[in-house]
Amino acid sequence: MFESAEIGHSIDKETFGAEVPALREALLEAQYELKQQSRFPVIVLINGIEGAGKGETVKLLNEWMDPRLIEVRTFDQQTDEELARPPAWRYWRALPPKGRMGVFFGNWYSQMLEGRVHGRFKDAVLDQAIAGAERLEQMLCDEGALIIKFWFHLSKKQMKARLKALKQDPLHNWRISPLDWQQSETYDRFVRFGERVLRRTSRDYAPWHVVEGIDPHYRSLAVGRILLESLQAALANKPRKHEGNVAPLGRSIDDKSLLGALDMTLRLDKRDYEEQLVTEQARLAGLLRNKHMRKHALVAVFEGNDAAGKGGAIRRVAAALDPRQYRIVPIAAPTEEERAQPYLWRFWRHIPARGKFTIFDRSWYGRVLVERVEGFCTPADWMRAYGEINDFEEQLRNAGIVVVKFWLSIDQQTQLERFEEREQIPFKRYKITEEDWRNREKWDVYSEAVGDMVDRTSTEIAPWTLVEANDKRWARVKVLRTINQALEEAFAKDKK
Amino acid sequence: MFESAEIGHSIDKETFGAEVPALREALLEAQYELKQQSRFPVIVLINGIEGAGKGETVKLLNEWMDPRLIEVRTFDQQTDEELARPPAWRYWRALPPKGRMGVFFGNWYSQMLEGRVHGRFKDAVLDQAIAGAERLEQMLCDEGALIIKFWFHLSKKQMKARLKALKQDPLHNWRISPLDWQQSETYDRFVRFGERVLRRTSRDYAPWHVVEGIDPHYRSLAVGRILLESLQAALANKPRKHEGNVAPLGRSIDDKSLLGALDMTLRLDKRDYEEQLVTEQARLAGLLRNKHMRKHALVAVFEGNDAAGKGGAIRRVAAALDPRQYRIVPIAAPTEEERAQPYLWRFWRHIPARGKFTIFDRSWYGRVLVERVEGFCTPADWMRAYGEINDFEEQLRNAGIVVVKFWLSIDQQTQLERFEEREQIPFKRYKITEEDWRNREKWDVYSEAVGDMVDRTSTEIAPWTLVEANDKRWARVKVLRTINQALEEAFAKDKK
């Protein structure tokens, strides 16, 4: 895999000097076109052998191009805010918006390789990390990102010579860290696992480019050209649309449906309600103060029919708690900054730190509900969202976050009554809009979308709870009880 | 100051029960109106004696109102990301956007009081903190924010009784921290310094409301009503405009001006330039690696005439450095999320952590330049900006951030030549727009604005450097040298 990057590529000074001006101009041109189109972000991943010129090359790119449109990020020591959240959070918060370029040093590949090379885990865990990186990149590319991955290579002999030379150069010897010397000793392992990683993660949508790093002229020109060609190709591309080749989801062939199977007559009388509500609220308050909560966070997702009582249920959950413990994130139309990012970005930014509780009033499921039904995204987009959402929730779960998801379901008659009530009560009239009435006409397509959503995203790690919500009391108690059970199960597993 | 909050106010259960429903409805109504108008944010500060019901009252407000529109924030332990920046950064990042309400526990008042009560500093430092809080609140209010400040009070006797009662209540005794008991011992000091703080920071635009905390019904109703009345008054207000009563800035009464006094013939020949550039770049690279840099951060602001060579100068600065050390923030029109915040917010979000370097390509001075000249804000707005900007930069400086500010100045003839050149060179044509030609016609008003800006914001802590930029070489070397001198001066002070 690295053969052709150990053969001593080089470019002489004259050739280099002659080629650079045109390359620079073309790179600048591409960069401004990228900004003008603001159609996709560019993510450049920098990996490879220490001493192979990673830093120098990026420095040079910043000189050649307009550095105001390039964001260089290194991910070294995690901050305590990052440590309290899933590992990918730090990358999500550093993603460049559409029209800009982000250069990531010390990215997900560096981290998995370092862990494996230093024996912190074995191949199975490395392969998990590889699969995670693949899914992340696939998703970013599907969302439009251009990902360019560079592996700067040196043969073992070249690396040793280079480190020695750097050490003797007083102007540059600050660049070598103790880690670099360590890497010299672990070169063989680094290359071996590097190959495994490259082999599995070089994909048509985000291929690796292995660049021999020994000659500065060669590597600079090579990187500059790859960057230019990738940029130009992406800028010339029409926005990808692939409505055509999406496999259809099967439809129910009898009249049975998940929502139809709910027992909508379930209810609680006032006395039982008040008693159970207080009990469950006290239980929740206790659980959130439990010392196990230090290892966990809680995410509750509320979806449901319009007027199904999401707001009321959320208030009963919140009422149990100190307002300093939770945050409620109401999801409406994305802001301009959110629209310049992959659709999951605006949820990642609200992921709670350990010990905290975030309530999403509507959520990432908008993608497979309203965006699907209203055609705000293509069928290919919402079809892939099921898998992306499962990945997302798995990352939350792996970081100790307990994820509970509610679909509050009411029947059409109940919805009609509540709409009419809302229109009559002054302080409720804000809750009802023309759009609500329009959505009502699409009852059946929404129901179908809900059925598909539950089938495809109700998982062991983050199951859906369907809540019979014709009776608000029943719904509220069921919501609270479900949250409590989920927390207790998570705490019980800690003890094992 | 606290007299009328120690007289045992109380409301009986029946009165309370009778009053609450209408209050709740009105609060909800106001809250939705706030959201609908999205014209200003509401900041509620919660302070006072431990045990006086601060937490309980906010919890109740969250039950009464729609908690989805309220963001409750506590500021306890600073995270390492916060510790690496000026103290106010944590408040700026938590500000609610227009249309929403933020409730701040453990805010700036808590922090100054705690420091003073526990003897970490004396009155002089407390008074500095008080003055800082005043300026912050004045600015927030001028930017439209509604600030409501509550002081929950208890007499000493009431407090002791309350803590004792809480301790005996198994459902609530988790609420008392060791700190609370400590506060019981320091009650007198707390009240004494609290009074000092309240006296000085109760202003027409953001008055304190002292609420006796012993009776839950009384304090809940009192707080609810104050909140409602404040909200209603602000919602009914027309947006404040006070163009009328702005004192005029004096005009130059001869023909001399600051920019006119620059020697625009200053230049460097190519050889001197290349030599000096390399020297200054190496010096900068060395300074940023200096161990003193761990205590500092660097902010460089670039302003100047169109085509004065800001981009080129920034690139020469960046070229000296490892791209992982700096970030360049190009300032264009604010995004939607930025427009929902005070104008300084979008700069606070990019303030570097200690050890880092941020280059602003245009900056907060847009307020007193383009916004002033184009009438994007009222004269009152840009007039107060001078003081606000000085406050802002003082905060940066106090946190160890070295602030250097450049105005790159060219004459009209040079600008014309550069505009024409840009129109002819393909990869430079992105740099010139219709707007640049239009701005050129306003040369004199811009010059006047620049003169005022320098006179009013060139301070000992963050002086302006006017750069004669007809000759790009001269300008670039002067910029680099100025940055280096500023860093060296800061490092020299560390040693003393």
Structural domain containing residue B89: 3-236
What's the rounded Cα separation, in Å, for the pair B145 and B61?
20
Question: Which residues does chain A have within 8 Å of residue B327's beta carbon, measured at their own beta carbons?
Answer: 71-72
Q: Which residue of B has its CA nearest to A75?
A: B324
| A 410-469 residues inside an 8 A Cβ radius of B | 426-427, 430
Task: Tell whether A331 and A422 lie within a shared domain.
Answer: yes
CA-based end-to-end distance of chain A = 44
As a whole number, mean pLDDT of residues B425-436 equals 79
Residue A291 forms part of a structural domain: yes
What's the rounded Cα separation, in Å, for the pair B367 and B384?
10
Task: Tell whether A216 and A276 lie within a shared domain.
Answer: no
Task: Tell whether B201 and B308 lie within a shared domain.
Answer: no
Q: Cα–Cα distances in Å, from B466 out to B283, B311, B412, B478?
A: 21, 16, 16, 10
CA-based end-to-end distance of chain B = 44
Please tell me if residue B169 touches chain A, with a CB cutoff of 8 Å.
Answer: no
Question: Both tokens of residue B81?
Answer: 């990301």
* pLDDT above 90: residue A111: yes
Instruction: Provide the pLDDT for residue A182.
Output: 62
Task: Tell whether B292 and B434 lie within a shared domain.
Answer: yes
| A 250-289 residues inside an 8 A Cβ radius of B | 282, 289
pLDDT 10s digits, A23-74: 999 999 999 999 999 999 999 999 999 889 999 999 999 999 999 999 999 9
Tell if the CB–CB gap between B79 and A74 is shorter than 8 Å. no
Of B236, B254, B288, which residue sits at a domain end? B236
Q: Which residue of A has its CA nearest to B106?
A: A324
Q: Are B104 and B346 in contact (CB under 8 A)?
A: no
Q: How many Cβ atoms from other residues are within 10 Å of residue A59's Cβ?
A: 20
Residue B28 belongs to a domain with what CATH number? Answer: 3.40.50.300
Three-state secondary-structure class, residue B423 = helix
| A 101-120 residues inside an 8 A Cβ radius of B | 103, 105
pLDDT 10s digits, A464-496: 999 999 999 999 999 999 999 999 999 999 987
Among candidates B55, B67, B430 on the partner chain, residue whose Cβ is nearest the Cβ of A318 = B67
Task: Tell whether B340 and B203 lie within a shared domain.
Answer: no
pLDDT 10s digits, B231-263: 999 999 876 555 545 666 767 677 778 888 899
Q: Which residue of B has its CA nearest to A285?
A: B171
Q: Are B432 and B419 in contact (CB under 8 A)?
A: yes
Task: With cut-offs at 50, 70 and 90, classify the pLDDT of residue A173.
Answer: low
* pLDDT above 60: residue B419: yes
pLDDT 10s digits, B68-117: 999 999 998 899 999 999 999 999 999 999 999 999 998 999 999 999 99
Please tell me if residue B76 touches chain A, with a CB cutoff of 8 Å.
Answer: no
Please tell me if residue A235 touches chain B, with a CB cutoff of 8 Å.
Answer: no
Task: With cut-offs at 50, 70 and 90, classify the pLDDT of residue B467.
Answer: very high
As a whole number, mean pLDDT of residues B343-361 equals 96
Q: Are A487 and A298 in contact (CB under 8 A)?
A: yes
Q: Where are the beta strands (DSSP E) in A290-330?
A: 297-304, 326-330
What's the rounded Cα separation, in Å, for the pair B371 and B391?
20
Cα dihedral A418, A419, A425, A429, rounded to 10, equals 140
Question: Both tokens of residue A249?
Answer: 């989801």
Q: Most A CBs within 10 Å: which of B322, B325, B345, B429, as the mutation test of the A interface?
A: B322
* pLDDT above 70: residue A461: yes
Residue B47 forms part of a structural domain: yes
Task: Tell whether B280 and B327 lie within a shared domain.
Answer: yes
Task: With cut-offs at 50, 70 and 90, classify the pLDDT of residue A161.
Answer: confident
* Least trusted range by pLDDT, from A418-427, B156-165, B177-186, B355-364: B177-186
Task: Tell whether B288 and B382 lie within a shared domain.
Answer: yes
Please tell me if residue A79 touches chain B, with a CB cutoff of 8 Å.
Answer: yes
Residue A64 forms part of a structural domain: yes
Please tell me if residue B361 touches chain A, with a CB cutoff of 8 Å.
Answer: yes
Tell if the CB–CB gap between A282 and B330 is shorter than 8 Å. no
Q: Are A78 and A90 in contact (CB under 8 A)?
A: yes
Whether the ipTM is more than 0.90: the answer is no
Of A210, A236, A262, which residue sits at a domain end? A236
Task: Tell whether A210 and A290 lie within a shared domain.
Answer: no
Query: Position B210: which residue type?
Result: V
Instruction: Provide the pLDDT for residue B186.
Output: 87
Task: Tell whether B205 and B278 lie within a shared domain.
Answer: no
What's the rounded Cα separation, in Å, for the pair B83 and B138?
25
Residues ≥6 apart with Cβ < 8 Å to A268: A276, A471, A473, A474, A477
Task: Tell whether B52 and B97 lie within a shared domain.
Answer: yes
* pLDDT above 80: residue B144: yes
Q: Most A CBs within 10 Å: which of B38, B427, B428, B431, as the mutation test of the A interface?
A: B427
Residue A104 forms part of a structural domain: yes
Task: Tell whether A231 and A275 lie within a shared domain.
Answer: no
Residue A264 forms part of a structural domain: no
Mean pLDDT of chain B: 91
Q: Which residue of A has its CA nearest to B68?
A: A328
Residue A33 forms part of a structural domain: yes
| Integer-rounded Cα radius of gyration of chain A | 27
Of B221, B236, B251, which residue sits at a domain end? B236
Q: Tokens 């701005």 correspond to what residue?
A: B439
As a whole number, mean pLDDT of residues A434-444 equals 89
Instruction: Provide the pLDDT for residue B431.
Output: 76
Q: Which helix (H) or strand (E) is B45 found in, with range?
A: strand B42-48
Three-state secondary-structure class, residue B470 = coil
Q: Cα–Cα distances in Å, from A361 out to A299, A347, A406, A462, B125?
A: 11, 11, 10, 17, 44
Cα dihedral A396, A397, A399, A404, rounded to 10, equals 70
- Burial grade of A5 (CB within 10 A; 0-12, 13-18, 19 or more): buried
Residues ≥6 apart with Cβ < 8 Å to B120: none
**What's the structural domain count of chain B?**
2
Q: Where are the beta strands (DSSP E) in A97-200?
A: 101-105, 146-153
Residue A386 forms part of a structural domain: yes
Task: State what percent of residues in chain B have pLDDT above 90.
Answer: 77
Mean pLDDT of chain A: 91
Q: Which helix (H) or strand (E) is B495 found in, with range?
A: helix B472-495
Task: Tell whether B206 and B298 lie within a shared domain.
Answer: no
Task: With cut-offs at 50, 70 and 90, classify the pLDDT of residue A181.
Answer: low
Question: Which residues does chain B have within 8 Å of residue A321's beta carbon, measured at their own beta carbons?
Answer: 59
Instruction: Provide the pLDDT for residue A424.
Output: 86
Task: With cut-offs at 50, 70 and 90, classify the pLDDT of residue A415.
Answer: very high
* pLDDT above 70: residue B176: no
Residue B18 forms part of a structural domain: yes
Rounded (to 5) percent helix, strand, coil in chain A? 55, 15, 30
As a whole number, mean pLDDT of residues B263-271 equals 95
Question: Which residues does chain A have within 8 Å of residue B323's beta carbon, measured at their own beta carbons?
Answer: 55, 58-59, 62, 67, 70, 72, 103
* pLDDT above 70: residue A387: yes
As a whole number, mean pLDDT of residues A218-241 equals 89
Strand pairing report for A464-468 and B42-48:
unpaired
As a whole number, mean pLDDT of residues A376-383 equals 91
